[in-house]
Chain A
Amino acid sequence: MDLHGKKVTLHDMCLRDGMHAKRHQISLDEMVAIAKGLDEAGMPLIEVTHGDGLGGASVNYGFPAHSDEEYLKATVGAVKNAKISALLLPGIGTVDHLKMAADLGVTTIRVATHCTEADVSEQHIGMASEMGLDTVGFLMMAHMIEPEQVLEQAKLMESYGANCIYCTDSAGTMLPDDVTARISLLRRELKPETELGFHAHHNLSLGVMNSLVAVEAGANRIDGSVAGLGAGAGNTPLEVLVAVMERMGVDHGIDLYKIMDVAEDIVTPIMDQPIRIDRDALTLGYAGVYSSFLLFAKRAQQKYGVSSRDILVELGRRRTVGGQEDMIEDLALDMAKEQGLL
């Protein structure tokens, strides 16, 4: 694979996707320390939001330690060169949240929908684009549909005003060929000026590999997370990706030692549990299940005595999508009744 000289914009997720792994309890001081460390390492973009995006604070997804406003204010004020981005899932957050984030100095808005439902994002992408923000359309669970369908949905987002489209492997289940097929088709068919991004989860240990494959196929924005802090087995560990890209001659703009230090000295110490491919995280990748379901399934196992792996496999069989966290307790109750545990 020859990626020599390719320019890639890296986007850190540990203060957004990492919120899942921390049950949305990252403190303001921790956020600021991580954001500063990333900024000094040259990270151009840092996402900061509740794990489920702006307005995600809820019983269903978890109440965060601080509000979106508090997190955004603290991090925007802490960085010198990096830009802060925010995620928004229509159906959870609204354009009011979007305006709030922009007012606080967020310059990149990523509007995320399930991969088949892009048309719910028209309002939000349209507004972000009108406001002159770097506007990203983020197609989640993109493994569930064929590349041609991904393209159709991507074109909708592009038509609403998105200047960048993401193919998102929310379940960490894509094989390298799945990535190539989707990204290369998008690259051929979308406007040449539309940027392309790829977001991985490391559930099958393919985060780094799939990110490289995405760059080869035409993506120029890659998500990852320092020390991998993210839902499931985490996102692509950025310090690893940077080291690999360094060796391959990719133009990534990051100071390798500095990002290694952020991973080791600042991010790893705040983890509640090691971010690794345990049995349940592997099941997510194997069964194609939304990565943030992981801790919910583990908690359901604790509460109802049903195997978390069985819960996750069943959620995959039922083709659940991102945001259906409420299904987990409901399903665990059904399974516990069937097994005579309740």
Chain B
Amino acid sequence: MSTKIKAAIIGPGNIGTDLLMKAMRSDWVEPVWMVGVDPDSPGLARAQEMGLKVTSEGVDGMLPTMREDGVQICFDATSAYVHAENSRKVNEQGALMIDLTPAAIGPYCVPPVNLRQALEAKSMNVNMVTCGGQATIPMVAAVSRVQAVSYGEIVATVSSRSVGPGTRKNIDEFTRTTAGAVERVGGAKQGKAIIVINPAEPPLIMRDTIHCLTEAEPDQAAITESVELMVAEVQKYVPGYRLKNGPVFDGNRVSMFMEVEGLGDFLPKYAGNLDIMTAAGLRTAEMFAEEIIAGRFNPSAA
């Protein structure tokens, strides 16, 4: 392919670096900038070796040239605290922002569920919810597209090593944001999210349980089929997304037990929770890039 849409990654940490490695393989997106704040960051050095322009001056270090460098998509893999400012700045330069932080100033995006809507809305900022949200909301949606779900609950169990200091400092943000997206994207009338951190060694692979309470008696055949189709959709960008058990039906309860193994690009395979975020972020960017290349979307300063 001759034309790819140029992209910048803000945040050269574990997530940003894993995203970079995935993006290097993309047919639609070409990473050209890595933005950090610490000149000694190993992530910046790695990106530079891979041929990207880098700055340790934060987004401000990229702003003067990002237009002429052709950057039209940015990923923010920093923190919720600085995201709004980063987003405003890059939007002003005509680049759309894909938010991997829990800031959630833009609409939530879970690719197999509502990416189409985000594309149609031509949003300049989309938020990738949380790792637990990416892993579970497709399953809630798989049930709610069959019949009304009065209550959706997700339990994400992640290895201690895969939970960074940002999440730990504000774990409430995870539960609140995920629960909100279980409702708004998953389609449950009421949402609840629980996260459990397990320090076992060797680290456990991310596992997720999804419980839906349906309003009427569940249509077992239709739900089972819908769930299997949705799993296949997620597997397109996260091959290690597996339905271990279920759907289990017990009265009006429908439960799915999942395991999410990562690709092991930069992050270890057990950290499926992080992998599904970077993969979903890239998937979203690729869909936008496709729209831009086809001339259906021209990101511009509002």
Q: Which residues of A contact B (CB under 8 A)?
A: 58-60, 90-92, 94-96, 114, 116-117, 119-120, 122-124, 318-324, 326-327, 329-330, 333-334
Given contacts A91-B194, A123-B170, A329-B257, contact A319 B245 (CB under 8 A): no
Q: Are A60 and B153 in contact (CB under 8 A)?
A: yes
Alpha-carbon distance between A318 and B200 when the two chains are bound, in angstroms: 8
List, in ascending order, chain B residues with CB within 8 A of A321's CB: 196-199
The CB with the most chain A CB atoms within 10 A, among B171, B207, B245, B257, is that of B171
Q: Are A324 and B245 in contact (CB under 8 A)?
A: no
CB-CB nearest in chain A for B153: A59
- Determine which of A96, A319, A324, A330 lies in contact with B196 in the assembled complex, contact meaning CB atoms within 8 Å: A324
Q: Are A60 and B194 in contact (CB under 8 A)?
A: yes
Nearest 10 pairs of A and B residues by beta carbon: A326-B209, A319-B200, A59-B211, A94-B172, A323-B196, A330-B257, A333-B245, A116-B199, A91-B195, A326-B155
- Determine which of B171, B245, B248 lies in contact with A120 in the assembled complex, contact meaning CB atoms within 8 Å: B171
- Nearest CB on B from A195, distance (A): 25
List, in ascending order, chain A residues with CB within 8 A of B192's CB: 58
Alpha-carbon distance between A316 and B93 when the two chains are bound, in angstroms: 54
- Residue interface bits B163-199, CB-to-A below 8 A is 1, else 0: 0010011111011100000000000000010111111
- Nearest CB on B from A233, distance (A): 24
Alpha-carbon distance between A127 and B51 when the two chains are bound, in angstroms: 46
- Nearest CB on B from A263, distance (A): 33
CB-CB nearest in chain A for B165: A119
Q: Are A123 and B157 in contact (CB under 8 A)?
A: no
Q: Say if the beta carbon of B253 comes within 8 Å of chain A.
A: yes
Q: Could you show 23 A-B contacts with beta carbons less than 8 Å apart?
A: A58-B192, A59-B153, A59-B211, A59-B213, A59-B253, A60-B153, A60-B211, A91-B175, A91-B195, A91-B197, A95-B172, A96-B172, A117-B197, A117-B199, A120-B197, A122-B168, A122-B169, A323-B194, A324-B157, A326-B157, A326-B257, A329-B257, A330-B257
Alpha-carbon distance between A120 and B230 when the two chains are bound, in angstroms: 32
Q: Are B198 and A324 in contact (CB under 8 A)?
A: yes
Alpha-carbon distance between A120 and B151 when the two chains are bound, in angstroms: 27
List, in ascending order, chain A residues with CB within 8 A of B171's CB: 90-91, 120, 123
CB-CB nearest in chain A for B258: A330
Q: Contacts A120-B197, A333-B257 known; list 17 others, CB within 8 Å.
A: A59-B153, A60-B153, A91-B174, A91-B194, A92-B175, A94-B175, A119-B168, A122-B168, A318-B200, A319-B198, A320-B200, A322-B196, A324-B198, A326-B155, A326-B209, A330-B257, A334-B245
- Nearest CB on B from A35, distance (A): 28
Q: Say if the beta carbon of B160 comes within 8 Å of chain A.
A: yes
Q: Say if the beta carbon of B255 comes within 8 Å of chain A.
A: yes
Alpha-carbon distance between A120 and B198 when the two chains are bound, in angstroms: 12
Q: Are A120 and B253 in contact (CB under 8 A)?
A: no
List, in ascending order, chain B residues with CB within 8 A of A92's CB: 175, 194
Q: Are B198 and A114 in contact (CB under 8 A)?
A: yes
Alpha-carbon distance between A332 and B172 when the two chains are bound, in angstroms: 31
Q: Say if the beta carbon of B244 comes within 8 Å of chain A.
A: yes
- Residue interface bits B225-256, CB-to-A below 8 A is 1, else 0: 00000000000000000001110100001010
List, in ascending order, chain A residues with CB within 8 A of B172's CB: 90, 94-96, 123-124
The CB with the most chain B CB atoms within 10 A, among A320, A323, A330, is that of A330
Q: Are A333 and B194 in contact (CB under 8 A)?
A: no
- Determine which of B169, B209, B213 lies in contact with A60 in the assembled complex, contact meaning CB atoms within 8 Å: B209
Q: Are A333 and B153 in contact (CB under 8 A)?
A: no
- Nearest CB on A from B136, distance (A): 12
Given contacts A91-B171, A117-B199, A323-B196, contact A58 B257 (CB under 8 A): no
List, in ascending order, chain B residues with CB within 8 A of A90's CB: 171-172
- Determine which of A123, A322, A323 lies in contact with B169 in the assembled complex, contact meaning CB atoms within 8 Å: A123
- Determine which of A320, A329, A330 lies in contact with B198 in the assembled complex, contact meaning CB atoms within 8 Å: A320
The CB with the most chain A CB atoms within 10 A, among B192, B197, B248, is that of B197
CB-CB nearest in chain B for A115: B199
- Nearest CB on B from A88, distance (A): 11
List, in ascending order, chain B residues with CB within 8 A of A91's CB: 171, 174-175, 194-197
Alpha-carbon distance between A58 and B194 when the two chains are bound, in angstroms: 9
List, in ascending order, chain A residues with CB within 8 A of B151's CB: 59
- Nearest CB on B from A162, distance (A): 16
Given contacts A123-B172, A324-B157, contact A330 B213 (CB under 8 A): no
- Nearest CB on B from A149, distance (A): 10
List, in ascending order, chain B residues with CB within 8 A of A58's CB: 153, 192, 194
- Nearest CB on B from A119, distance (A): 5
List, in ascending order, chain A residues with CB within 8 A of B244's CB: 330, 334
CB-CB nearest in chain A for B174: A91
The CB with the most chain A CB atoms within 10 A, among B198, B209, B244, B253, is that of B198
- Residue interface bits B3-34, CB-to-A below 8 A is 1, else 0: 00000000000000000000000000000000
Alpha-carbon distance between A77 and B254 when the two chains are bound, in angstroms: 39
- Determine which of B168, B169, B197, B255 lies in contact with A114 in the assembled complex, contact meaning CB atoms within 8 Å: B197
